Amino acid sequence: MELNQVKQVVLKVKEKKPLIHHLTNLVVTNFTANGTIAYGASPIMANAVEEVEEMVRVANGLVINMGTITPEMVTAMEKAGKEANRVGVPIILDPVGVGATTYRTEVVKRMMDTFKPAVIRGNAAEMAQLAGIPWQIKGVDSVGEGGDRFEVAKKVVEKYQTVAVITGEKDIVTDGERTAVIANGHPLLSTVTGTGCLATAIIGATIAVEEDAFIASVAALTYYEIAAEKAAAKTQGPGTFAAYLMDELYQLPISDIDTMAKIEWVKK
């Protein structure tokens, strides 16, 4: 039953082609725009303080990614986030590298006082930082094992009243009530910059068409990571993998979810 829901949600993205406003980092701008299109949505990447509110009002979803924040970008994010909340446009936050510097930690705190995301997606270290649980961080990448990832996800849900998504070898998605663990994906994903950011963008495109942000997040991640598995099967290195990943996001038959999805519904 849930698998049918997952498939329906992905199909809805491809049918409705939602318009997704991105305030994202300089490293992945092109990659996430292309991934958004390949998946079936339409990206806007405008980031001037002068126009972000107006852009948000015509958008169906908002992606906020902290990868290369500057004070100007943070102002744009706060304006856009606030307006998105006001007009009911769902937000996904990617707290890239939070905890790596004092600046990032302060910025994310201030942003969380300004607007409320429907979903927060990060790696274990970033999410642990948001949850206030100690975790080792190396630059913007999560390393080591740290504490219990389920506990981290649960704390993030409680603290921010959001769906929490922790990606890694296995992904955890939870809204506090329901939890899913997704075991799809491929090691080559970690050899291309921005594949985490693209996971965020794909979820952002999906919550734009599906109000149930838990199901939307599970559906988006599952589809994305099956696409990665199929892309990986065609290649042996990160360069061609990145190209095939776009191809697969574009053409992956929805029926592959039936045969390839590895979702464990921990609690219903």
Read off φ and ψ for residue 51, nearest 5 degrees: -135, -5
With respect to its own copies, which residue has the nearer C-beta, 74 or 261?
74
To its own copies, the closest distance from the beta carbon of 71 in angstroms equals 7
Number of residues located near its own copies, criterion CB under 8 A: 62
Q: Are strands 141-142 and 137-138 parallel, antiparallel or unpaired?
A: antiparallel
Please identify which residue in 2, 12, 235, 260 interacts with its own copies, judged by CB under 8 A: 235
Examine residue 256 and tell whether it contacts its own copies (CB under 8 A).
no
Please identify which residue in 15, 138, 233, 266 interacts with its own copies, judged by CB under 8 A: 138
Question: 132 among the known binding-site residues?
Answer: no
- 37-40's contacts with Cβ under 8 Å and 24+ in sequence apart are 38/246, 38/247, 38/249, 38/250, 39/13, 39/14, 39/202, 39/205, 39/223, 39/224, 39/249, 39/250, 40/13, 40/14, 40/15, 40/205
Read off φ and ψ for residue 204, nearest 5 degrees: -60, -35
To its own copies, the closest distance from the beta carbon of 56 in angstroms equals 10
To its own copies, the closest distance from the beta carbon of 246 in angstroms equals 3
Question: 121 among the known binding-site residues?
Answer: yes
Question: 73 among the known binding-site residues?
Answer: no
Q: Are 264 and 183 in contact (CB under 8 A)?
A: yes
Site track 177-216 with its own copies (rule: CB under 8 A), x = hit: --------------xxxx----------------------
Six-digit token string for 19: 């318009």
To its own copies, the closest distance from the beta carbon of 219 in angstroms equals 21
- Which residue has 């924040």 as its token pair? 69
To its own copies, the closest distance from the beta carbon of 149 in angstroms equals 21
Sign of the torsion formed by the C-alpha atoms of 141, 205, 57 and 86: negative
Please identify which residue in 7, 10, 25, 79 interacts with its own copies, judged by CB under 8 A: 25
Six-digit token string for 98: 């939070």
Please identify which residue in 6, 9, 10, 34 interacts with its own copies, judged by CB under 8 A: 34
The residues in 139-158 that bind its own copies, with binding defined as CB under 8 A, are 139-141
Q: Which residue type occupies 150?
A: F
Please identify which residue in 146, 150, 250, 256 interacts with its own copies, judged by CB under 8 A: 250
- 61-92 burial, b at 16+ Cβ within 10 Å, e below that, comes to bbbbbbbebeeebbebbbbbbebbbeeebbbb
The residues in 50-89 that bind its own copies, with binding defined as CB under 8 A, are 50-51, 54-55, 58-59, 67-72
Q: Which residues are part of a known binding site?
A: 45, 121, 167, 194
